[in-house]
Amino acid sequence: MSAEENTRLAENAYEAFGRGDMAALAEVMADDIEWVTPGDPDDDPNAGTFRGKEAVLDWFGGLASTLDFTTFEPREFIGQNDKVVSLVYSEATVRDTGLAVVNHEAHV
């Protein structure tokens, strides 16, 4: 696929997530997807490496059970060859603590 096609695929994934459409999100995932969220799982229940569609969809379920997002904005997509980087801004509240979280992230 071209960089433009890969970028559109990534945009579709974010749009599906934004709608809460996990079936559409799963459709754009490769069967052998590997999802890595840095951090220590003892400190962040969403941290770890998740392999395969089912594990990644479970990760999204865990994310929804621990955070209430008020803002989730993929602001820029940068595609080159078979890689796409998205620059994302998000705001959420941690359900267990009520603490606000603001993130500026780069997703690859």
pLDDT digits (tens, 9 = 90+) for 16-58: 988 889 999 999 999 999 999 999 999 888 999 999 999 999 9
* One-letter amino acid for residue 100 of the chain: A
- Return the pLDDT at 1: 84
The domain 3-107 is placed in CATH, from the list 3.10.450.50, 3.30.10.20, 3.40.190.10, 1.20.200.10, at 3.10.450.50
For residue 51, what are the CA distances in angstroms to 29, 31, 48, 100?
Answer: 11, 9, 10, 29
Q: What are phi and psi of 5, to 5 degrees?
A: -65, -40
What percent of the chain is modeled with pLDDT above 70?
100
- Return the pLDDT at 48: 95
Per the CB < 8 A criterion, the answer to whether 107 and 17 are in contact is no
- Return the pLDDT at 102: 97
DSSP class of residue 96 equals T
